[in-house]
Each structure stands twice: as C-alpha cells, then as structure tokens.
Chain A
Amino acid sequence: GDSVTQMEGPVTLSEEAFLTINCTYTATGYPSLFWYVQYPGEGLQLLLKATKADDKGSNKGFEATYRKETTSFHLEKGSVQVSDSAVYFCARSNTGKLIFGQGTTLQVKP
C-alpha cells in the first residue's frame, strides 16, 4: 500500500546550520505532498504543500520540491533557529486521506 518514509531522528543542529530532512513516498496515483510541524503539547500545523510534480512549497524559510523522478519531498531550511525545534511529519494524500511518515524530531541548540 501507500507509504511515506522519513529519515530517523533526532536531528540535532546548532543555530544557523543548514537543515535537510529526507522524505520519500510511494508513487501510486497523483498524490499531493505535505510537511506538517508539531510543537510540544500541540497538534500538527501545516508547514507547506505541493500538489504536482516540480512544484516547490515554501513557508517561514522552509522549502520542499515535489520530485516525481526520485519520489522525494525533502524539507530544507538554510538557517535554523532554536524556535524551529519540533517534530516534522511528511505526508502524502490518498484521495482525501493523508498517510504520514513516522516523524523526525529536530533539536536546535543555541
């Protein structure tokens, strides 16, 4: 069945470092792709999305490009801040449903 695979965490970075969190998805159909962020004690918030191949989603300095040829949707940020510490989830759609990766914890140290 459909699935999403994320790199395992935790990912620990120093402030202002470059961030990449890898995400790959199964290629059946024409899914939309999403990144969600979860801060401690809260629900998930949409970070960005892309709905077709070669689309780039961006928000708050984060970017991800829908790569159909490699079935990937890697999350990047050029300079992380302590406030970016959270759990990040990659997801693909299946009609109206979402299928989530297992989540990647990011810790940013001052």
Chain B
Amino acid sequence: NAGVTQTPKFQVLKTGQSMTLQCAQDMNHNSMYWYRQDPGMGLRLIYYSASEGTTDKGEVPNGYNVSRLNKREFSLRLESAAPSQTSVYFCASSERWLSNQPQHFGDGTRLSIL
C-alpha cells in the first residue's frame, strides 16, 4: 500500500546548490505531477508527465527540470537552488490523463534553501 513515495522528506540546501527530488508510484499510473505548496497559495503545478516519455511545463516551471525515468519514477531537479524555492514539494499520480481522474499524492518533501 505504498502509493506515491517521495524522497527525501526533509532537505536543507545552500543557495546555488543542486539537488534532485525523487518520486515513485506503484499503482501503474500513466500520469505524474510535481507541485509546490506555499502558505496561502494552494498547490501550484511545476511540471507534469501525461504519459511515459512526455513532460510539459506547468504554472511555475522556472528554475526546475524533470525526468520521467520510466513509468514508475518522475524526478524533479533544482540546478541552482534559490531561497524563493523554499517550499513543500508534492509528487502526485493519476491513472490516466483525463479530467475526471483523481490524483494521488505523496507525503511531500520539505525543502529549505538558505
């Protein structure tokens, strides 16, 4: 019953450092998503992968890159971290790229950039 697993759960970086957030789902879902959550702003979509082999920009893609490694895994990379990227990051997946599909979320990665 793992669902969506994110690693790490917490991370502190210095400005300019790089890191990759990992996400894996075991539900055989086709679509995967990365969001950031900031106080009072809900969740904002960074990037998504509608199906294996495709990735597209969401609402706030600047400063991020993604890789859909295979059907299970979708990683988010910060090449040069900035304090504005301090946030909680959530990965999600859905069975298909359709408007009626609910998304299943991981527990998040809490990232602080000093």
Contacts and interface: CB of A to CB of B under 8 A. Distances in A.
Contacts of B103: 44, 46, 98
Instruction: Give the interface residue-count category, chain B.
Output: 20 to 34
Contact of B96 (A34, A49, A96, A97): A96
A20 interface: no
A32 B100 contact: yes
Interface stretch (A11-19, A69-77, A78-86, A100-108): A100-108
26 contacts: A31-B99, A41-B107, A42-B108, A43-B90, A44-B43, A44-B103, A44-B105, A46-B102, A51-B99, A51-B100, A89-B42, A93-B99, A93-B101, A94-B99, A96-B31, A96-B48, A96-B94, A96-B96, A96-B97, A96-B98, A96-B101, A98-B43, A98-B103, A100-B44, A101-B42, A102-B42
Interface residues of A, number: 25
